[in-house]
Amino acid sequence: MRISLLGAQIDNLNMQATVKRISEMVSSGEVNQVVTLNPEYLYRAQEEGNLLELVNKSELVTPDGTGIVWACKMAGVPVEERVTGIDLMLNLMPVAAKGGWGIFLLGSAPGVAEEAAKNLADKYPGLKIVGIHHGYFMSHEEDEVVRLIKAAKPELLFVALGMPRQEQWIAKYKDEMGVPVSIGVGGSLDVIAG
């Protein structure tokens, strides 16, 4: 079930159900975009209609932030629980390791994704990290980054370019990349890199 908050449709799924939905997306082989919607994004989206449209075109939208959970409650349409980008990413890791899904990490300063990948591989044995690229590339290098991701054929693509650029980037290239599930994860790679 989707809940409407300030024009954005949010999926009312707890973490477990969200992970399950993403597993189904991976099995489907179709292309999906996941947005973890935080209050900053929703606030900006009130002024920038294209940001709202992007959310509502996404296949899965999670309530990221206590502000969103609180606002849904106040609006009389409570969501089950907060599902943040980093929590979702970490909850997907054991499932990905078990399922043999390929993971691609895109974004953050050079070296950060490598460090994050190392920590994830240590923590989740068997995790298949099929590609890494930092997030400080120029617009004329975008095609090359897209080509890299396409060639790596990941099941999950985590994009840490900051909000809303990461959401716009996924929306622009998702069909070309053909990745089953792409998720914008903000500062998560920095956190995982430690």
**What does 97-121 look like in DSSP terms, one character per residue?**
HHHT-EEEEEESSTTHHHHHHHHHH
> By rule CB under 6 A, what count of residues binds ligand UDP?
13
Scanning 24-32, 75-83, 104-112, 117-125 for contacts with ligand UDP by CB under 6 A, the matching segment is 104-112
Pairing of strands 181-184, 156-160: parallel
Other CB atoms closer than 10 Å to residue 47's CB: what's the count?
8
Scanning 52-60, 74-82, 95-103, 155-163 for contacts with ligand UDP by CB under 6 A, the matching segment is 155-163
Question: Which one, of 144, 136, 142, 131, lies nearest residue 179 by Cα?
Answer: 131
Single residue of 107, 131, 154, 180 touching ligand UDP by CB under 6 A: 107
Question: Which one, of 81, 52, 189, 84, lies nearest residue 134 by Cα?
Answer: 189
Q: Verify binding: residue 65, ligand UDP, rule CB under 6 A.
A: no
Scanning 52-60, 107-115, 138-146, 169-177 for contacts with ligand UDP by CB under 6 A, the matching segment is 107-115
| Interface residues toward ligand UDP, by CB under 6 A | 107-109, 135-136, 160-163, 186-187, 189-190
